[in-house]
Amino acid sequence: MKSGELTEKENEILRKLLLEKNIQEYEILVPIGEGRELPESSYQDEIESISGTVVTATDAYGFWLDWINDHYTLGDEKGNWYKININEFTDAEDIIAAQQQLQQKKQ
């Protein structure tokens, strides 16, 4: 991550991992660099462990991009990929706004 923004390589990895979950249209909210550089970086901080929220038109998920057992993961192995119940989420406004934008794109 650079300056709070995902790098091109991080975006590419996330896109691939989300496609494996049949998620094609999404927004990444509040990506946070977790301070660990991951393998296959061409330069420092190109690929970093990242946590955040993936929002689709109908759902939201917590994730943690990491490298486990020689592959990238969204956190499935450690329970860091999970569906968010926005009714129990204190700051759901950003999620709802992102979902509305994604729904409008589909129309």
Tens-digit pLDDT profile for residues 19-43 = 999 999 999 998 999 989 999 989 8
pLDDT reported for residue 58: 94
Q: How far apart are CA 98 and CA 103, in angstroms?
A: 9
- Residue 86 predicted with pLDDT over 80: yes
Q: Residue 45: helix, strand or coil by DSSP?
A: coil
Q: How far apart are CA 34 and CA 47, in angstroms?
A: 11
Q: Do 33 and 1 touch, CB atoms closer than 8 A?
A: yes
pLDDT reported for residue 80: 95
pLDDT reported for residue 4: 76
- Residue 89 predicted with pLDDT over 90: no
Domain ranges, ordered by start, for the chain: 8-85
**Predicted TM-score (pTM) above 0.75:** yes
Share of the chain above pLDDT 90, in %: 72
- Tokens standing for residue 29: 């909210």
